[in-house]
Amino acid sequence: MAFENLTEKFKRIFKTIKGEARLTESNMDSVLKEIRVALLDADVNYKVVKNFILRIKERALGEKVYTELNPSEMVIKIVNDELIKLLGSDSSEIKYNKNKPTIIMLVGLQGSGKTTTAGKLSLLMKNKLKKKVLVAACDIYRPGAINQLEQVVNKVGVDFFSLGDKVDPVDIASKAKTKAYNDHYDVLIIDTAGRLQIDEVLMNELKCMKDKVEPDEILLLTDAMAGQDSVNVAKTFNELLGLTGTIMSKLDGDSRGGAALSIKEVTGVPIKFIGVGEKLDDLDIFYPDRMASRILGMGDVISLVEKVQENIDEKEAKKAAKKLEKGEFTLIDLLDQMKQVKKIGSISSILGMIPGMPKISKEQQDLAEKEMKNFEVIINSMTYEERIHPEIIKYSRKQRIANGSGKTIADVNRVLKKYEQGKMLAKQMGSMKKRGGMMPPNFPKF
Ligand code: GDP
């Protein structure tokens, strides 16, 4: 994930200052110097860094922090506030029209993630916001572009509009708008053509399209991995077209994150969404405050809670809780639990959101995820009877299950051991409930 290095550096900087009894002009100067280096290392635009440091300095002096206040808290607070401002403190969510379709033009260079994001956006709008969405294919130049978009859109299950690749893109957009009005769509997403770099012909086409369809939003796809280049692209697109927002894709990659931290300040255009993976549900609404606290290493509890709420089937959760209360636990429950965890997202992305969570290495994460997959294959190779009453699984059954799942007997034993631990925990939880919520004395710590 982007920002990892920056987060580590901020943590270190705050730690050094924690030891200071009070803030003095000289220790403040050295903190600012370190923050400056950390931001430049993260590929943040140098002018942005300069102004950011100036603002922190001004505030630090203005707020008379050189008193009894806890220096580290004060610095964190100021840096956090200023980071939020840098990322765009005003609300930048899309405003949907009430009585007519909201028209969104997606623009950007080739490979920036436009097609994928058209799909991700439609999914988010369809599922979370319950919008009726139409997606129009206006990239008639790149071979296969229309097909690729149609596939993505079909996967999401929203409607697709195309007039093939022989009609002028401005006409296609205009006809799509008419359809969106006539058929009462809530949202029309127009996927436009990309180029390898900005060129005049493309810009003219986009300008004509803008004049013709009068979109509510023109959103530019920017690639986090392209660093400061994408900030420059955003600047040019904004000057020529007037953007209402950007969507930064590929923030899951190992970019240093500088583009995300520079783009609002340099262009004045807010980031509205971020792409955090290749899958269709890997698009998040961008919240500057959450991103700031994540960058500062404070975790993002709100995002975690939302993610959990969205993904865990409430009924299932209640059912599981009831069973736990009774101390009942089968291999089916173990599998269900694992599936819920999988639904929430990868273990690593969850752990990253919990403040104070010890960092686990990439190898450890991979190992944990691999183990979960192994368990699933093994449990799937068992009969129903075996899943409900694992105690009947003796040597010959183990042999059969191992053969059926392509694993070893040792692997099967590991699942059974995990099951025993889960069962014990279930019993303890059950008795805890009976004892009025008191933790059992040997309750394992996470
Ligand atoms: P387009 O040319 O602008 O339409 O770009 P595409 O939508 O075809 O995306 C280009 C590549 O980037 C594809 O391989 C996508 O899977 C990938 N991609 C798009 N968004 C993201 C993202 O948020 N994270 C990652 N890791 N890959 C992405």
Structure confidence at residue 438 as a pLDDT band (50, 70, 90): very low
Instruction: Establish whether residue 141 lines the binding site of ligand 1, counting it when its CB lies within 6 angstroms of any ligand atom.
Output: no
What is the DSSP pairing of strand 102-107 with strand 187-191?
parallel
**CA gap 240, 220 in Å, rounded:** 12
Query: What CA–CA distances, in Å, run from 174 to 138, 188, 209, 284?
Result: 10, 11, 8, 29
- 151-160 pLDDT, tens per residue? 999 999 999 9
Question: Which domains does the chain carry?
Answer: 4-87 (1.20.120.140), 102-295 (3.40.50.300), 308-434 (1.10.260.30)
Residue 139 CA, closest ligand 1 atom number: 4
Instruction: Establish whether residue 113 lines the binding site of ligand 1, counting it when its CB lies within 6 angstroms of any ligand atom.
Output: yes
pLDDT at 75: 79
Instruction: Establish whether residue 281 lines the binding site of ligand 1, counting it when its CB lies within 6 angstroms of any ligand atom.
Output: no
Query: What CA–CA distances, in Å, run from 164 to 17, 137, 351?
Result: 62, 8, 46
Whole-number Å distance, alpha carbon 237 to ligand 1 midpoint, is 19
Q: Which of 256, 265, 254, 312 is nearest to 246 (CA)?
A: 265
Residue nearest to atom 2 of ligand 1 (CA): 111
- 395-407 pLDDT, tens per residue? 999 999 999 888 9
- 370-391 pLDDT, tens per residue? 877 888 889 988 988 898 889 8
Q: Are 94 and 215 in contact (CB under 8 A)?
A: no
Whole-model pTM over 0.75: no
- 175-213 pLDDT, tens per residue? 999 999 999 999 999 999 987 777 888 999 999 999 999
Q: Are 160 and 191 in contact (CB under 8 A)?
A: no
Strand ranges in 80-211 using DSSP code E only, listed in sequence order:
102-107, 133-137, 159-161, 187-191
Look up residue 128 and give its two tokens: 């979370």
Which of the two residues, 217 and 440, has the higher pLDDT score?
217
Instruction: Establish whether residue 422 lines the binding site of ligand 1, counting it when its CB lies within 6 angstroms of any ligand atom.
Output: no
According to DSSP, residue 90 is labeled S
- 213-228 pLDDT, tens per residue? 999 999 999 999 998 9
Instruction: Establish whether residue 119 lines the binding site of ligand 1, counting it when its CB lies within 6 angstroms of any ligand atom.
Output: no
Side chain identity at residue 112, one-letter code = S
Residue 345 has pLDDT above 70, yes or no: no
Other CB atoms within 10 Å distance of the CB of residue 164: 9
Mutate to test the pocket of ligand 1, among 116, 281, 286, 349 (most ligand atoms within 8 A of CB): 116
What is the DSSP pairing of strand 271-275 with strand 283-285?
antiparallel
**CA gap 41, 46 in Å, rounded:** 10
**CA gap 328, 388 in Å, rounded:** 10
Residue 191 CA, closest ligand 1 atom number: 4
Look up residue 200 and give its two tokens: 């005049």
